[in-house]
Amino acid sequence: MDVRRVLVLAAVAALSAHGLAALPATVADHVPRAAAVARAAVPAAVPAAAAAPIAHVARPGHWSVVVDGWYIELDGVAGVHSAAPERAEPVPSLLSPYDQLIGKYAEESGLDWRFVAAVIYEESHFEPNSVSEAGAYGLMQVRPVAAREVGEVSFQEPEANIRTGVHYLQRLEREYAAAGDRHRQALMLAAYNMGLAHVQDAQTLARRFGYDPLRWDGAMDVMVSLLEEPQVYQRAPNGYAHGRAVVEYVDRVLRRYAAYRRDLPAVPPGHIVQTAAAVP
């Protein structure tokens, strides 16, 4: 137990009856306490696959597009037409068969596809039929309540599951828009894992103790952990939460995301960045 958490726990024990009375008791006195979850080793990021040979390569200084089965090379002055190959080469995957779907919905929602991929790895290891004891389903371990919150009805098929999970992450990003990048991502992950209501309980504690409720490191990570302490969770509106396990979850996802950012491109192979409407 580090010094910071000892001090905060001491502050909890010393809270006045008036201070603790502000948090209504909604949880029984004998809620089982969770064991601390051991830090999971994060394997190294999957190295990028070698690019497949491209049948048609634009000349240096040129760029090309495909329109109605024709390659058109442009140098800013004129177009040169040549027949397109009959069969396109397969696009390699970097992490999973779902890279392009992740890229598609991440881009639409303004998220980094590598961040979404790090969440999916932690949630399901890219297993589309994964189901948790809590009823979370699929690649992104979507729960029905989260799907309803973003207006999704069906979320079991892989593409629908990715779309739903990404839309929920987008909703959480808006919730913590005022936080700095790392802190915002950490708060998003905590809410994705434990639920928005528990994070709100932890933010209430942060304000009571004089911590920044939008700062993760050295503030909210400690407050989230306190939701396992009986003198806290018994008076928290939403009760007990596996706080320490959530802190470990956030740390694993952020470390994996940092590795993916280091080793993987900003867009997955074969993904077309939507920058402008197609010309008819």
Do 40 and 248 touch, CB atoms closer than 8 A?
Answer: yes
123 tagged catalytic: yes
DSSP codes, 215-278 = -IIIIIHHHHHHTTSHHHHTTSTT----HHHHHHHHHHHHHHHHHHHHHS-SS-TTPPP--SPP
Q: Strands, E, within 122-185: which ranges?
A: none
Quote the CA–CA distance of 252 and 110 in Å, as a whole number.
Answer: 22
Phi/psi of residue 89, nearest 5 degrees:
-70, 145
State the catalytic residue, choosing from 123, 152, 173, 228.
123
Which residue has tokens 């992450």?
A: 169
State the catalytic residues.
123
